[in-house]
Amino acid sequence: MSMLDVRCDAPLPGWLRRDVESRLAFVADEVESAEVVDGGAMLRLRLRPSTSVDRQEAIAEHARRLVSSMATAMEPRSRVVEEHRSAPPGCGCDLDLALADARDVHEELRGIIALGPKLAALVETLESRLLEVIRTVGPAPYRFPALIDPILLEKLSAFQYFPHTLGFVGHLRRDLDVLERFASDAKASPQGIDAPDASFARPSALLTPAVCYHLYGYLAGQVVDAPGLVATAEGKCFRHESTNMTSLERLWEFTMREVVFVGSERFVLDGRDTMRRVARDFFAQLELDHHIETAHDHFFGAQYWRQSALQTAFELKLEVRATLPHKGKSLAVASYNYHQDFFGRRMDIRLPDGSAAHTSCVAFGLERLAYALLSQHGLNPAGWPAPLLPE
């Protein structure tokens, strides 16, 4: 592995460095990891050993351009709005290693992990307990696919805001010669699939990045009865986060249970607040040590400073961050999001008076929540809070 140091035009402030490090993973395929060093004045990229000098120069230019697009951002004024401390005992182990040794997790590819019986049962129990809580707000159930229409994602600005995490679904071209060449010549390797040129058709679908997007497409062009509707769905979500993907903390494929409110501004804000109250009781039953803070989504490039500042200034996004005792840090396991009338306007979802509907979404990451609970309460079910035990 070779090292590439890139001097910044000006030192990066401390609050921006973590976001810059996560985005640097996307500047080139050759980047294995990245960090901001020298008091924010230097970017240190670890590259594949085979990276040529000419390619290193191009990567350095890409890194400078990325930093330039983010460096004009104002500091998001994040603040802690709730704290709930439970003094958990902790797992007392290297949790990732313990889960792998016990075959509770099996990594098929980076970011793609299969769960063994114990962890699968824990996620199923969490889902069941969570549904009991969610039913108190009276949502209608929906089921949505893992694939999503690219036209819908473009309308929702996913191409503009989150291009770095999108996953595309492909298939071979409908051509007998192409199929025969692929059958005889294609090979799989750790780097991906090596196939004859021009084998693949243009992508016609994408992997779903968020469950709620499907609901907005479902309601497009519709009038929602006053004061609004409540929906819930569970689904697989996909966000490719390059070398940032690690263990159950950050997966390429993960499971979300979402509760979505669509209606008037007051209706969706009251709904979000109600979910905060019932989820507070849910987390208390799980004895989850956590806090809630204002946050922003992982916007890319020039959108970073505009959208992150908007979200934090108006506290449109709140994250539930659970303590990970074995790592001495916290992990976002749920979020409370208010989109104002953005999706209503984009998808022409209207209220009876003709105005655009407002939306809010409450999302729970099931694998992350299970991981945080194991970090806090250990691998032995005998030490788990009662709601985590199967009935």
Q: Over its length of 391 residues, how does the chain's per-residue pLDDT go in tens digits?
A: 689 999 998 888 888 888 888 889 888 999 999 999 999 999 999 999 889 999 999 999 999 988 888 876 667 677 899 999 998 999 999 999 999 999 999 999 999 999 999 999 999 999 999 999 999 999 999 999 999 999 999 999 999 988 989 999 999 999 999 999 999 999 999 888 999 999 999 999 999 999 999 999 999 999 999 999 999 999 999 999 888 898 999 999 999 999 999 999 999 999 999 999 999 999 999 999 999 999 877 766 555 555 665 666 567 899 999 999 999 999 999 999 999 999 999 999 999 999 999 999 999 999 999 999 999 999 999 999 999 987 7
Q: Where are the domains of the chain?
A: 2-71, 80-163+209-388, 168-207
How far apart CA 332 and CA 292 sit, in angstroms, is 9
CA-based nearest residue to 134, from 281, 262, 27, 247: 281
Amino acid 309: pLDDT: 57
Say if CB 16 and CB 73 are below 8 A apart.
Answer: yes
Both tokens assigned to 33: 């990891």
Both tokens assigned to 331: 């992990």
- Cβ neighbours of residue 102 closer than 8 Å, sequence gap 6 or more: 116, 118, 379
Phi–psi pair at 257, nearest 5 degrees: -110, 125
Amino acid 23: pLDDT: 86
Amino acid 113: pLDDT: 97
Say if CB 364 and CB 130 are below 8 A apart.
Answer: yes
The CATH number corresponding to 80-163+209-388 among 3.40.50.2300, 3.40.50.1820, 3.30.930.10, 1.20.120.420 equals: 3.30.930.10
The CATH number corresponding to 2-71 among 3.40.190.80, 3.30.70.100, 3.20.20.10, 3.40.50.720 equals: 3.30.70.100
Residue type at position 138: G
Both tokens assigned to 278: 């019932």
